[in-house]
Structure 1
């Protein structure tokens, strides 16, 4: 039995390849992919930006060929040993799951101190820095099956939550920055408090998720900027109070409009999701 997958052989080249159905070892899991997203990271890899985690103690280079795809929803098909999800729920064959994109070692200094995954000295990333050249090959979601390594974090998808919502789990995880800011608000007037004004710069997929999270956490006003009126309209539908197109307004006009909305004080929290230097200089 073969398994089909989309392989990024090198920057600029994708091909459909066939791989052998893997033997699942103790502690691992095999899942059948039902949906896999296309992340900006996948686009950057295709464009040739192959050096990642620059400035890290352990920078990485993409080990082509790879099977992209780290925003995944899947169904468990093989599980030789018992697994529990991140919340401690027992898992079974047939359960729908979201597999976390990154596998931290849990042993290095940064893992032991509770730092985020990207500090880990030995992190591996599905669809990104695990090569498809060596068995079991299937380390990305753009395939019929994904081989889940021991130590991976897996989240059981609640009944009734459709796949096209669950696949947004990895993107919504990025919005943890707002949750962290919320934690600081327990002390005086620090952090992000109920009714605060949040400005999201850039409302593509990640930015829209921050708009959604800001509303979930009780923001008073949500301001959005972008180059695309289509994206800004979507941001408005998800709760943005003021939407400004940076291609149709000057910097001074945007400052004045935001000042009007915030009684001259400006936003309380700014989230940069545009990915361009102009957003912060």
Structure 2
């Protein structure tokens, strides 16, 4: 759970390797500053993790959980509190020197841009608001590795325009569903409506969180009615949370005011004199 959710504009398309590396370093430093000595941020994230873990364990109780891009381990700690006794967290070395929510011996420090080592099989694999921080070429192989880790994958990733630091590969939810389908994992949408009703929940989880279950595998009780047919994915899955949409509108209006203060004028596309006329 590494997405900081700040309203700082960020690029939505892949960039060159040098810029991508700089973005990753800047994002890592921002995360370190966010967590270092800030108990309020920890409490907030622990609450999000507990709510997500609670929704998940209403349907099934995994004993082994691996979290790719686990940050400081909030989701793993929440799952440990609900009966999971084999926890594995994987993330880059930005977490070094920060107090973590799970024991250090449960961590593997690893550059997520590179293929994961053999981590064995787990009851549940999670990857929460991480994929957008990795280059576009990494997306398909990341999904392949997640589906190799478990028959059940909990996944969320930032959409275009969501905002945040270090976002270089923002995609609509249906894009990721298509990649999971290539590896035999069907898409289920049992949590977004529930999370959206929680006033303190991070809007990006209420917007993006999906469950993928291997075709032919055991579908947790209560999940089956929430299956999204592949042919409906492009119509049903893309979703923008109103809080994020309003934040983007505020940023846009602020930018227009800056233009006007500089004596310039914003002309919308399609208007007389605009770029589409």
TM-score tier, shorter chain, comes to 0.3 to 0.5
Query: Looking at CA atoms only, which structure, 1 or 2, has the larger radius of gyration?
Result: 1
More strand by share: 1
Task: Tell which has more relative contact order, 1 or 2 (C-alpha 8 A, sep 6+).
Answer: 2
The alignment's TM-score, normalised by the length of structure 2, stands at 0.32
Q: Please report the TM-score for the alignment, with normalisation by the length of structure 1.
A: 0.32
More helix by share: 2
